[in-house]
A and B are shown apart, each in its own frame.
Chain A
Amino acid sequence: MAASLEDLEQRLSQLRTELRGAVRARDKAETARIRRALREAETAWEHALEVEAESQSATDDGALPTEPQASPTSVTAGEARRKERPVHGSIPIREQVHQALTLLGAPASPKLISSTYEAFFTEPLVATKLASLRRDEERSFTAQGYARPYYICAALTHDRLVPARGLLALSTWPVERRIIGPLSPRADFLTHAVGTAEQIQRLATAGHPAPDAAWRLLRRFALTIPGAYDGSAQEPDPARVIAAAHAESAVHQQEDDQQRQAAAQRARGQLADVQQLFGAAPMRDALRDASGTLS
């Protein structure tokens, strides 16, 4: 047993060296394989350690009662370390955008996406990095369509079905949800407010108080929704914000839905898959020619 502990330790350090090499070479498959092996070796090592401690305490016959306690704590510490690991590694930007958009529930501007993400996940999301994201996603989709579970795509204008200026959406949403009609910016804004308030509520029920940045974001939403905030309270009440936002969106819903559905139907009929996600080609050339003849 004792010999195997030493063996395992040697194997662990060997695997760590290999892992370092694989990460440097950016070989993802190899990295994943080594990580798995490393984890296995670690569990084996911990197991061996436990067994050793038990056998020792058995021989000492409870002479050292602190020892058996010490080994479980080291195990939990090891587990905690393992749990932390994915947090430390940087999350890909599209993943971050996906999380923020799922939370918001409607197409949003890069600025709102980054402030939402930073409010709830306390990790930076640089808004300028999002500039090229949509194009990259489109390229990836064109190369091998539907290879990923989701794509960060465009919201479409209701009249021309071209990508709406400065908005990002998720490909898993139906086209209706990604159409931007005259009322949609307001309707989406209310959806964002509801999403933010609900996330704060969820965090509260889970026993984690929402970060200050999240409250600030909610306050900003609440200030511009009628009846959502009276200014006397320090923090807006999420339930009240949700109720107010629902009340206002009910006013817009019918007209907005009609426009969205009509546009979505046209999009499904007229556009190819890529275009349904990333918008019809901008009418740049045709219009420039037209304006050229006019002037």
Chain B
Amino acid sequence: MPSQQSEPPDGRLARLRGPQPPQPYTARKITALTANPACARRAVLDAAGVDKALLAQQVGYEPRFGQSPFALAREQAFHALVKWGGYAELIQLLREQLSVPVAEAHVTDLNEVGGNTDLHVRERETRRLIAHVASGQDVRLILDRPVLTLEVAGQTAYLEPDALTHRIDGKFHVVLIRSFAAIDGQANPTAVAETAKQAAVYVLALRRAFETAGLPTDQLAHEFLLVCPKDFSNRPYARLVDLRQELDALQFQLSRLRRAEDLAARLPETATLDTARDADELSSSIKALDASYTPSCLSFCEMARYCRDEANGCASPARFGSGVRNDLPGIASTRTALDYLDGVAAPGEAEAEAADLLCAAARLRRLRRGVA
């Protein structure tokens, strides 16, 4: 999967990346981008297909997290279990919990097409098959690892959901297989939310595919099927999870994303994000891209520690989280805010209201300290 190359980003973005092979656009990246749509840095890095982990390492910020090999192995083992014996477990889940008739057991493995694993070929085969199934010429219960495309920030992303199933109420459902356990029907809510966001990306991609093929989009479900281990066993468990909210949020965020190419065009001509170059050169190019650091970046972005130090350096209020940032509208730095409090500088007209609130808060704090 990761060795597959997505469509080469043309022109400017490709030049920025240099001779390194591009990294594919994944659902994970898209959700990260929509979680922080103001971050031009991440938008350009992802659109150019730069290896962010390597880049962070080059500029001296070895990413401390990453995907744990144990978690990956667990995920793979659970995938293998669910798909074991001609998708027997998945078919059983669909039958038991979603009352799919026994006669439905048609599957197609889209991991390769005629011995070919090329993404373009698989994408075309997926489109062909979906069109056949949607128009009723053919029947498939499960499509294993189809390939869908989605335009993100002016770039084509190739997405591979774990599976697609057609036969729940005659609608297409995205199936995601995850290895976090559902204990008494309750899974880790953060993990489910993260999975739902990724599923929304797949559903949206599917919707685009239907629109381009001129098929009725009411065949698409706004729910996805989450398969995870049941309780403390290894038995799979499946539930439909509603996606309407995530879909709306995602569509809104995607429409707000500026085109990565436009963002890249503003960079100086000498800028480079080629991971083989030295740290100073890279650092100056990265600085030219605006980041919008929030503490939550630490949990999903490889560049987060770089951005955090940068935010520390310019005393950005967002360093303390979105709460502090929202309390200081128009004040770009905590140093300025402190200056207002100490009376060193007078707030301008735009900042007056925020500064007043800040002074009031400071007075309350002083009073409390006096009492205590």
Given contacts A185-B86, A248-B102, A252-B103, contact A294 B120 (CB under 8 A): yes
What is the minimal beta-carbon distance from A220 to any residue of chain B, in angstroms? Answer: 8
Chain A, interface SS category: helix
Chain A residues whose CB sits within 8 angstroms of the CB of B107 once the complex forms: 182, 185-186
At the interface with chain A, which of B32-40, B111-119, B272-280, B324-332? Answer: B111-119
Interface mask (B298-323 → A, CB under 8 Å = 1, otherwise 0): 00000000000000000000000000
Chain B residues whose CB sits within 8 angstroms of the CB of A189 once the complex forms: 85-86, 88
With an 8 A cutoff between CB atoms, is B105 at the interface?
Answer: yes
At the interface with chain A, which of B23-31, B89-97, B203-211, B345-353? Answer: B89-97
Query: Would you call A284 and B87 a contact (CB within 8 A)?
Result: no
Residue of A nearest to B123 (CB): A291
Query: Would you call A224 and B102 a contact (CB within 8 A)?
Result: no
Most buried by A among B84, B95, B106, B120: B106
With an 8 A cutoff between CB atoms, is A163 at the interface?
Answer: yes
Query: Would you call A165 and B111 a contact (CB within 8 A)?
Result: yes
With an 8 A cutoff between CB atoms, is A282 at the interface?
Answer: yes
- A residues 255-288 with Cβ under 8 Å of B? 279, 282-284, 287-288
Choice from A223, A251, A287, A295 contacting B92 with Cβ under 8 Å: A223
CA distance A170 to B331 in the complex (A): 74
Query: Would you call B85 and A192 a contact (CB within 8 A)?
Result: yes
Band of interface residues on A: 20 to 34
What is the minimal beta-carbon distance from B325 to any residue of chain A, in angstroms? Answer: 42
With an 8 A cutoff between CB atoms, is A113 at the interface?
Answer: no
With an 8 A cutoff between CB atoms, is B109 at the interface?
Answer: yes
Residue of A nearest to B8 (CB): A295
With an 8 A cutoff between CB atoms, is B336 at the interface?
Answer: no
Chain B, interface SS category: mixed
Chain A residues whose CB sits within 8 angstroms of the CB of B139 once the complex forms: 182
Interface residues of B, count at CB 8 A = 31
With an 8 A cutoff between CB atoms, is B121 at the interface?
Answer: yes
Query: Would you call B121 and A182 a contact (CB within 8 A)?
Result: no
Choice from A224, A284, A295 contacting B85 with Cβ under 8 Å: A224
Chain A residues whose CB sits within 8 angstroms of the CB of B283 once the complex forms: none
Given contacts A182-B108, A182-B140, A287-B121, contact A163 B89 (CB under 8 A): no
- A residues 141-171 with Cβ under 8 Å of B? 157, 160, 162-165
- A residues 98-115 with Cβ under 8 Å of B? 111-112
Most buried by B among A188, A221, A226: A226
Choice from A157, A183, A224, A291 contacting B121 with Cβ under 8 Å: A291
Query: Would you call B116 and A224 a contact (CB within 8 A)?
Result: no
Query: Would you call A182 and B106 a contact (CB within 8 A)?
Result: yes
Query: Would you call A252 and B92 a contact (CB within 8 A)?
Result: no
Query: Would you call A282 and B86 a contact (CB within 8 A)?
Result: no
Chain B residues whose CB sits within 8 angstroms of the CB of A165 once the complex forms: 109, 111-112
With an 8 A cutoff between CB atoms, is B246 at the interface?
Answer: no
CA distance A112 to B86 in the complex (A): 11
CA distance A103 to B102 in the complex (A): 26
CA distance A251 to B95 in the complex (A): 15
With an 8 A cutoff between CB atoms, is B7 at the interface?
Answer: yes
Given contacts A189-B85, A192-B85, contact A252 B116 (CB under 8 A): no
Query: Would you call A224 and B91 a contact (CB within 8 A)?
Result: yes
Chain B residues whose CB sits within 8 angstroms of the CB of A220 once the complex forms: 84-85
Chain B residues whose CB sits within 8 angstroms of the CB of A295 once the complex forms: 7-8, 120
Residue of A nearest to B88 (CB): A224
Given contacts A189-B85, A224-B85, A224-B91, contact A282 B114 (CB under 8 A): yes
CA distance A254 to B201 in the complex (A): 39
Query: Would you call B118 and A226 a contact (CB within 8 A)?
Result: no
Chain B residues whose CB sits within 8 angstroms of the CB of A251 once the complex forms: 102-103
Query: Would you call A183 and B114 a contact (CB within 8 A)?
Result: no
Residue of A nearest to B101 (CB): A251
Query: Would you call B102 and A162 a contact (CB within 8 A)?
Result: no
CA distance A284 to B115 in the complex (A): 7
Can you spell out 9 A-B residue pairs with CB atoms less than 8 angstroms apart? A112-B85, A182-B106, A182-B139, A186-B86, A188-B86, A251-B103, A283-B115, A287-B121, A291-B124
Residues of B within 8 A of A (CB): 7-8, 80, 84-89, 91-92, 95, 102-103, 105-109, 111-116, 118, 120-121, 124, 139-140
Leading 9 A-B pairs by shortest Cβ distance: A282-B115, A185-B86, A186-B105, A182-B106, A224-B88, A291-B120, A189-B86, A224-B92, A283-B114
Residues of A within 8 A of B (CB): 111-112, 157, 160, 162-165, 182-183, 185-186, 188-189, 192, 220-221, 223-226, 248, 251-252, 279, 282-284, 287-288, 291, 294-295
Give 7 new A-B contacts, CB below 8 A, not counting A186-B105, A192-B85, A224-B91: A186-B86, A186-B91, A188-B86, A225-B88, A283-B115, A284-B114, A291-B118
